[in-house]
């Protein structure tokens, strides 16, 4: 299988898992067998664990409040949610995944929990590319059952990228499946439906790639977990995808009998620890993303038309049906346009579908924030992109020029146009 095709196949497989989800029974059986406690599972959204892991990096890693954590191949978000509870509101937990559907699922889970960028971000990107993360900005990199899925060039790339983004002294805790020995080709063939075992490399090869990237003292610990849990749990829940099967057909051995297949004979789940040396020079950066909106796709519609406060006032008094959207968050208050809906900019992109359903009947949708310089035009742009990509032409999208500041300059005293203005 060529590398691009492998990336595409893996993407499709996990996107399909993200759409269908896993049964709670399967996901819990797999998670418990790889070391997640009942308390951990009870503390996170059910939809965030899909039985796709091969370990539990969050149980051994020590995370302190305020730290930055990066999860490679974050899936439904299980390890990000557990890490987020340790690093708290002052920290930053960022999950990367190439599957748009997985990222959507994880963002929805986060939004339901009231978590949003910059504190908790999920970003769509391939680990085989340059990561959208600033150099020397991450305290701890985690990953659970993902590196094995990368093609050879992707494995080399990701360790180089992890080294780049870690702060000097930053650490790496990976759970991954490694091959116990060189697999004969017919066994690799048997394993090919198990993407995470078919792509597994041996300890010395993995260590070689880490060293190449600059991690000189890695530690490999065989968790001794029983990989046949994937077979047993799938046996119980016939339609459930596994970490290794990832939505593919039910696997069999070359003899045709899946009972012959003992995953433990060929592979094992390892926890791998490494540290970027302290003495590496580089400017330490405390913000892995330049801005919170870098967690979302760049806006294509950067030229959404503006309307003036006078035009909006006329529309409110006697115009077509409109929806006015205030996208401020904690700074929402101190007066807003009469009747406006408040939608926090940081979660706006995640909820575009439901937002559209709510405003689709309006003739014009008008966005604003404090000065309509950043959040207002950004959300308007995302909404316009959403309309453009789905071939919908209505409603019209506009930005209120000058935001709430200019609006209040003109209409703060007008109770029909302004709500919640704190008169002295
Ligand atoms: C086995 S699942 C593990 C998910 C998650 N870590 C967990 O424990 O539930 C692998 C995840 O890695 C993602 N993935 C696989 N290859 C990737 C790549 N090249 N770049 C980014 N993400 C990738 C998949 O989309 C999937 O969500």
Banded model confidence at residue 234, pLDDT cuts 50, 70, 90: low
pLDDT for res 245: 52
pLDDT for res 232: 72
Mean pLDDT of the region 56-81 = 96
137 vs 422, residue with greater confidence: 137
11's enclosing H/E stretch is: helix 3-20
pLDDT above 50 for 352? yes
Banded model confidence at residue 260, pLDDT cuts 50, 70, 90: low
Q: Is 98 in the pocket of ligand 1 (CB under 6 A)?
A: yes
How far apart CA 106 and CA 122 sit, in angstroms, is 7
Least confident of 27-31, 207-211, 385-389: 27-31
Which regions of the chain carry the CATH code 3.40.250.10?
297-419
Choosing from 72, 149, 194, 267 the residue with most ligand 1 atoms within 8 A of its CB, the one to mutate for a pocket test is 149
pLDDT for res 2: 79
H helices present in 21-151, as ranges: 24-33, 38-42, 57-60, 78-87, 100-112
pLDDT for res 391: 86
Q: Is 317 exposed, middle or buried (0-12, 13-18, 19+ CB in 10 A)?
A: exposed
Least confident of 18-22, 130-134, 355-359: 18-22
Cis peptide before 118 (omega within 30 of 0): yes
Q: How many whole angstroms from its chain centre is CA 55?
A: 19
Q: Distance, CA 174 to ligand 1 centroid (Å)?
A: 13
Q: Which tokens sit at 389?
A: 């990509």
pLDDT for res 155: 96
- Which tens digits make up the pLDDT trace of 114-158? 999 999 999 999 999 999 999 999 999 999 999 999 999 999 999
Q: Are 233 and 26 in contact (CB under 8 A)?
A: yes
Q: How many whole angstroms from its chain centre is CA 339?
A: 33
Q: Which tokens sit at 357?
A: 């359903």
pLDDT for res 241: 55
Q: Distance, CA 221 to ligand 1 centroid (Å)?
A: 21
pLDDT above 50 for 203? yes
Contacts of 222 (CB under 8 A, 6+ apart): 268, 269, 270
Q: Distance, CA 50 to ligand 1 centroid (Å)?
A: 11
Average pLDDT, the chain: 90
pLDDT for res 191: 65
CATH number 3.40.50.150 is the correct assignment for the domain at 3-293: yes
Q: Distance, CA 75 to ligand 1 centroid (Å)?
A: 5
Residue 38 CA: distances (Å) to CA of 28, 29, 41, 207, 263 = 9, 11, 5, 33, 26
CATH number listed for the domain at residues 297-419: 3.40.250.10
- Which tens digits make up the pLDDT trace of 361-410? 999 999 999 999 999 999 999 999 999 998 887 899 999 999 999 999 99
Helix axes 152-165, 3-20, angle to 10 degrees: 70
186 vs 416, residue with greater confidence: 416
| Predicted TM-score (pTM) of this structure | 0.92
Q: Are 50 and 76 in contact (CB under 8 A)?
A: yes
130's enclosing H/E stretch is: none
């Amino acid at each position: 299988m060529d590398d691009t095709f492998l990336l595409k196949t893996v993407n499709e497989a996990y996107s399909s898992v993200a759409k269908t989800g896993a049964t709670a029974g399967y996901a819990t059986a797999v998670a418990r067998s790889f070391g997640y406690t009942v308390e951990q599972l009870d503390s996170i959204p059910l939809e965030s664990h899909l039985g796709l892991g091969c370990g539990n990096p969050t149980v051994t890693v020590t995370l302190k409040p305020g730290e930055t954590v990066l999860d490679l191949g974050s899936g439904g978000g299980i390890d990000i949610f557990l890490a987020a509870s340790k690093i708290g509101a002052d920290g930053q937990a960022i999950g990367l995944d190439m599957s748009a559907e997985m990222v959507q699922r994880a963002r929805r889970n986060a939004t339901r929990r009231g978590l949003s960028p910059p504190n908790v971000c999920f970003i769509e990107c391939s680990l085989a590319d340059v990561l959208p993360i600033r150099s020397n900005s991450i305290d701890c990199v985690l990953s659970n059952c993902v590196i094995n899925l990368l093609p050879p060039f992707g494995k080399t790339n990701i360790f180089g990228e992890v080294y780049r983004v870690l702060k000097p002294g930053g650490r790496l805790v990976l759970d991954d499946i490694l091959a116990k020995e060189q697999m004969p080709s017919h066994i690799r063939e048997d394993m090919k439906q198990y993407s995470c075992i078919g792509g597994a490399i041996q300890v010395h090869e993995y260590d070689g790639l880490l060293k190449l990237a600059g991690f000189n003292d890695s530690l490999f610990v065989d968790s001794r977990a029983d990989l046949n849990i994937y077979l047993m749990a799938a046996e119980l829940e016939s339609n459930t995808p596994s970490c290794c099967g990832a939505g593919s057909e039910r696997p069999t051995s070359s003899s045709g009998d899946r009972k012959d297949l003992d995953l433990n004979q060929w592979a094992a789940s390892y926890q791998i620890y490494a540290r970027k040396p302290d003495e590496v020079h580089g400017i330490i950066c405390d913000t892995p993303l330049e801005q919170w909106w870098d967690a979302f796709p760049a806006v294509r519609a950067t030229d959404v038309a503006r309307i003036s406060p006078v035009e909006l006032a006329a529309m409110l008094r006697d115009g077509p049906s409109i929806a006015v959207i205030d996208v401020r968050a904690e700074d929402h208050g101190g007066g807003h346009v009469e009747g406006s809906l408040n939608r926090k900019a940081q979660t706006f992109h995640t909820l575009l579908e439901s937002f559209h359903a709510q405003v689709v009947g309006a003739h014009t949708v008008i966005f604003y924030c404090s000065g309509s310089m950043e959040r207002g035009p950004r959300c308007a742009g995302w909404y316009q992109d959403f309309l453009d990509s789905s071939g919908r032409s209505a409603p019209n999208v506009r930005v209120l020029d000058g935001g709430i500041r200019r609006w209040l300059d003109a209409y703060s005293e007008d109770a029909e146009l302004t709500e919640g203005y704190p008169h002295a």
